[in-house]
Amino acid sequence: MDGITRSPDEQALVKMAHRVLPAGNFGNFASDIIIRGGRGGRVWDVSGNEYVDFLLGSGPMFIGHAHPEVTEAVLAQVPRGTTFFANNEHGIRLAEEIAAALPCAEQVRFVSSGTEADMYAMRLARAFRKRDRILKFEGGYHGMSDWGLMSLAPKRLANFPVAVPDSAGIPRSAREEVLVAPFNDLDAAKALIAAHHDELGGVILEPFQRLIPPVPGFLEGIRAITAEYGIPLIFDEVVTGFRFAYGGAQSYYGVTPDLCTLGKIIGGGFPLAAIAGRADIMAHFDKGIVGEDGFLMQVGTLSGNPVASVAGLATLEVLKRPGAYEAVFATGRSLMDGLQALIRKAGLPAQLVGVPVLFDVVFTADEVRNYRDVLKADAALQKHFNTQLRAGGILKGESKYYLSTAHTEADIEQTLQAFAGAIAVLPKRR
């Protein structure tokens, strides 16, 4: 496939994976590469090949792999115990830090994954509002629950607000509980919310949807109409929390939701996620306040475990330091500018979509404002570049460059060279 060689050990592990794992992988990434380790902004596979890593474990490693301060904190905690199914000091301190950082966060409840956080946030909104339906936005990813997997990446487009299941095994009844609106179309979203306001338990959206920034006024407009009807607004900040700013995308864009979900960065590379928000809504986790009928039961064996909590606290301590965000945004902007220059010189029908800490090249000349615009992009060209980048020692997902504070000028230069190499071997276009 590329110029990277695979050792007998790695080839044997790939065969073993295909024997014992469905599709030969964990359900996340390609099965032909097996990572052995990482440090800073780079990873190495079992064969010893080195990559500049823009996958970053799908985003958690925002301060780089094996950061010495995170490693020190984890190694100090492990001999003291790894989980207790009871409150621990580090989890409490992490909740306090989150509450201090995020505008919407008066209280915090920990879980172990972003899927859980989004599922519980939607359930929490329904419990508070005493309504069953959730409105989400087409193309928005809210985890693997039945409600989350509606119109994330529909192959068959439907008229709004009809929801399209993204997976087998989702009951038909779940479709009736989810309404779908177009992202970045405020008039359409407002009309749907107004028409269905008495049925809605909540509205959930990624304030920055996958790669797509909100157009001016969109978040503000959604905030205003949900507030008008008393509908809880949920920001899914599993990706953007502590990435766009220390106060998350809600701080970055200046729009405060009623609830938000967090993950990835707050666990420092360990399984940890959270729901945070207004105390009167979060009270539904407390039977003593809301009573039996209003109580939302939530139990998780590893929720808020001390190892993930110390890793999260150490990560946030690094990010609080002056200049941390300015530096990572500058690194990302340098890469975006370099890629844009190469695209322009080659005359490619492509553009950079996103912000400097999270973006990708989308191979279309048309404006990208929503999921349906992304569908118009040249998928074959995207695959070519991703394949050639891997051959040049660049690891990234199918869509997204995740930037970290650990990426260096040398990493950016290697990436630009690999991208130029991919341009040089472009297949002939008709």
Residues acting as catalytic residues: 141, 236, 264
Residue 78 CB partners (closer than 8 Å, separation 6+): 307
Looking at the DSSP assignment, which residues form a beta bridge with residue 205?
235
Q: What is the DSSP letter of 391?
A: H
CB 260 within 8 A of CB 248: yes
Rounded CA-CA distance 239/241 in Å is 6
Residue 339: closest CA among 423, 407, 243, 405: 423
218 φ, ψ (degrees, to nearest 5): -70, -55
149 φ, ψ (degrees, to nearest 5): -90, 55
- In 30-51, which positions are buried (b, 16+ CB within 10 angstroms) versus exposed (e)? eebbbbeebebbbbebbbebeb
134 φ, ψ (degrees, to nearest 5): -120, 135
User: Which single residue is written with the structure tokens 């989150």?
Assistant: 98
